[in-house]
Amino acid sequence: MTEKQNNDAPRRRRPIKFTFNISWIYILLMFGIGWMFFNQGGANPQKEEWAEVKKQWLAGDIKEVVFVRNDFEGHVTIRPDRLAKFEENFGGNLPKKSPHFVFLVSGSFNAEEMFEELNAQLPESEQVKVVIENHESYWSILEWLIFPLLLILMWVFMFRGMNRNMGGGAGGPGGIFNVGKSTGKLAEKDSIKVTFKDVAGLYGAKDEVMEIVDFLKNPEKYTALGGKIPKGALLVGPPGTGKTLLAKAVAGEANVPFFSISGSDFVEMFVGVGASRVRDLFRQAKEKSPCIVFIDEIDAVGRARSKNGGFSSNDERENTLNQLLTEMDGFGSNSGVIILAATNRADILDKALMRAGRFDRQIHVELPDLKERQEIFQVHLRGLKLADDFDLEFLAKHTPGFSGADIANVCNEAALTAARHDKTAIDKQDFLDAVDRIIGGLERKSKIITPEEKSSIAHHEAGHATVSWLLPHANPLFKVTIVPRGQALGAAWYLPEERQLVTKEQMIDEMCSLIGGRVAEEMITGQPSSGALNDLERLTKMAYAMVTYYGMSDKLGTLSFYDSTGARGYDLTKPYSEKTAELIDKEVKELIEMIHDRTLKILEDNKEGFLALAAILLEKEVIFADDLENIFGKRVGSKEEPKAEPEVEQTVEPEVEPVDAE
C-alpha cells in the first residue's frame, strides 16, 4: 500500500468512554444552589396592611391583585411606572419580579364585593385587574424544601467520603480535602546523597545503625535463618546531636527511599485525621519497600497514655498512637519497612511503643567528646577562610558540652564576627568571641552601672573564682568578666572535668563554688544582693538532689524519691509523709549552712588574694586562669580533658530572672 493510499484509508476512531466522577455531583449541587440564589434576585415581597393596599388602589398605583381565597392572602403587583414611588419600602433595592406586596385578611373578608367597590371609584384606564383563585399548587412547598435538601445532600456526599478515608478505610485518597493524607516527605533513593562519611563523630551510634543498613541491603541473610528484620530503632539524645542527619545517612548508605515526617503532623483538630495519616504513611511505605520511615520528635504523638482519663487526656492523640502501634505490629513481619524515630524525651514515651517488636533498639546519640568535636569542627570549617596559625585542638578543648548544632553555630558566628571587624581571615579570637556570645550573650558595654554596683559585681565574681580555684574538686576556671552580657551583669566560665560518677565531696566543692559569690558580697558590703539568684537556684536544686535522690543524707539514710518513669507528675500526693518532708527541709537547710560556713572560711583565709583578684578584675574587667595562677599559685586537682557541658556562673540584674547558659 502506497503512502497516499494509506492516508486515504478510513481512520478508526476510538470510542469515547465516560467515567463517573464524584466531582460532577458537587458541581451540580453548587450550580443548583447558585441558581436558586440568583433566581431570587432583588428584594422579597413586603408585607402590607389592607388599609395601605386600599390607599395604593385608590391612588392608581396597583396593576394587578391576585387573591388566594383558601389562604386569605392577596398578592399585589405595582405598575412599573409607579414602582419607584415605593423604593424606601424595599430598602432601595427594588424587586425584579412580582408580586411586590402581600396582605392578609380575615375569613369574613368579601373579596368580590370589596374589589368591585374600589374599581368603581377609578377611571376605566386605571382599574386594577383582579384574579380570585384557590391555591392548589405544591410548588411553593418544594421551593422551600429544595434549598435545605441540596445542602444536606452536599454535606452527605462531601463528608461521607472524607469520613470513610479518615476513620474507617484502609488508606484511601484522604478525603475531599486530603485531610487524612500523610504529610510525610519522600526522598527517593537516588536523591539522598548523605552517607556515613558526612556524619562526623557519633562512633557508637554509627556502629549500631550499621546493622540496620546491613538488614536493608541483605535481608535474605537473616530471613534465611528464620530471623526477623527489626521493626524500628529509636534515636535518643539531646537536641542538635545529629539524630536526623544520622537517619538520612542510614537511608543514603542503604540506598533506599526515605520518608520523613514530624510527630506533630499527626495531631489535628479533626477526629480521625491522625490515625488516617498513619495508615496512609505506612501504605505508601509498603509500596516503596524496602524503605525507611523517619518520625522526628515522636514524643508529640507517642506520649504515655494517662491512667486517669479525667486529667490531661486527648482521645485524638491516643487514637493516633493506637493506630501507630497497630501499624508497627501488623501481620507483615518482613515487609522491609524500618521505622526510625528521634526524641530527646524517651522517658515520657508510652511503654507499649518501647517494647520489643516495635522499637527493638534504643540508640543513644550523646554529646560529642574531644575527638568527635574536632571532627565536627573540620566538617563545618570547610568553607571558611581561616588564619594560618589556627589551632583546631585548642578550640575543641574550649567547647565542652557543645552539640553538633552548637558547633555549626560557633563557626557561623565566628565568620560573622570576623566580617564585622573587616578581617580577611578568621582567627582564634573570633572563635572565642563567638563562644562567649553564644554562652553568655552579647556584650552590653553601654549599660550604665554605678561604681558601687560595679564593685559588688567584681567581688562577687572574684569570690566564685577564688573558691573554685582553691577547691580541688570544683570545675576549673577559664575566664571571668564583669562586662554585662545578655541579662547577666557578670559571668564566670568553667571547663568541667570528665566525670562518669560524682561523689559527695565533689558535689560539696561544686556547691561551695556556687555560693562563693554571695559569701563574698556579705564579707565586703555586709549586705547580700539579688545578683546571686542563678547561683542560689542551682545550689538549692543540688542540695535537694543530694538529700532526696542520691541518698547522701545522714539522717534520711539511703533513700531515693527519684521517679525515672516520669509518671509521678499525674499524682496529687508526694511519695513521702509530712514528717519526712520536714526532715528533708531540715537536712537541706543544714547542708547549705555547712557549705556557707566552709566557703566563708576559705575566703577569710585567703582574703588578701581574694581582694587582689577583685582589684585586677575592676581594672581589666576580664581576667583568665593565668591571673589566678599568679596570685594563688598553680591549681591543684585539674587532671583530665574537659568533656561535660560548660557551666557559666552569672551575676544577674535584680529585676530579671537569669537565663542558665548551660
pLDDT value for 356: 78
CB-CB neighbours of 141 under 10 Å:
9
468: how many CB neighbours lie within 10 A of its CB? 25
pLDDT of residue 498: 63
| CB half-sphere exposure, 385, CA atoms < 13 A | 7
Q: Is 187 in contact with 260 (CB distance < 8 Å)?
A: yes
Inter-residue contact 183 to 261 (CB < 8 Å) = yes
Q: How far apart are CA 161 and CA 22, in angstroms?
A: 10
- Please name the residues in contact with 241: beta carbons below 8 A apart, sequence gap of 6 or more: 202, 365, 366, 367, 368, 403, 404, 405
pLDDT of residue 3: 47
Cell numbers for 282, please give them.
Answer: 505506612
- For residue 555 the three cell numbers come to 539522717
Round to whole Å and give the CA distance between 639 and 625.
15
The length of the chain is 662
- Per the DSSP assignment, residues forming a β-bridge with 129 are 64
Kindly state the cell numbers that stand for 596: 556557707
Put simply, whether the predicted model's pTM sits higher than 0.85 gets the answer no
Question: Distance between CA 290 and CA 189 in Å, rounded?
Answer: 11
Catalytic member of 253, 372, 413, 461: 461
Q: How far is 351 from 565, CA to CA, in rounded Å?
A: 10
Angle of helix 625-632 versus helix 451-470 axis, rounded to 10: 70
What is the per-residue pLDDT for 592? 92
Does residue 603 contact residue 467 with C-beta atoms inside 8 Å? Answer: yes
Q: How far apart, in whole angstroms, are the C-alpha atoms of residue 101 and residue 121?
A: 22
Q: Position of cell 583578684?
A: 613
Nearest one of 405, 413, 371, 355 to 244, comparing CA atoms: 405
Residue-level pLDDT at 172? 43
Predicted pLDDT of residue 428: 81
Residue-level pLDDT at 598: 92
Distance CA 116, CA 114 (A): 6
CA distance 134 to 68: 5
- Contact (CB, 8 A) for 574 and 525: no
Q: Which residues of the chain have pLDDT under 70?
A: 1-44, 92, 135-147, 150, 153-192, 268-272, 306-315, 330-335, 440-448, 486-488, 498-499, 565-573, 636-662
CA distances from 372 to 130, 266, 391, 396, 532 (A): 101, 35, 16, 9, 35
How many CB atoms sit inside 10 A of residue 583's CB?
Answer: 16
Residue 502 one-letter amino acid: V
Q: Check: CB of residue 428 under 8 Å from CB of residue 395.
A: yes
- Distance, in Å, from the CA atom of 73 to the CA atom of 67, rounded to the nearest integer, reads 6
Instruction: Tell me if residue 461 is catalytic.
Output: yes
Instruction: At 488, give phi and psi (nearest 5°).
Output: -95, 140
Query: How many whole angstroms separate alpha carbon 418 and alpha carbon 422?
Result: 6
* CA triple 413-415-419, angle to 5 deg: 115
DSSP string for residues in 362-413: EEE-PPP-HHHHHHHHHHHTTTS-B-TT--HHHHHHT-TT--HHHHHHHHHH
Contact 643, 498 (CB under 8 A): yes
DSSP E strands: which ranges in 319-375? 337-343, 361-364
Q: What is the pLDDT of residues 577-595, one digit of tens each?
A: 888 889 999 999 999 999 9
> What is the DSSP code (8-state) at residue 570?
G
226 burial via Cβ count (<10 Å: 0-12, 13-18, 19+): exposed
Residue with cell 565574681: 461
DSSP letter at 100 equals -
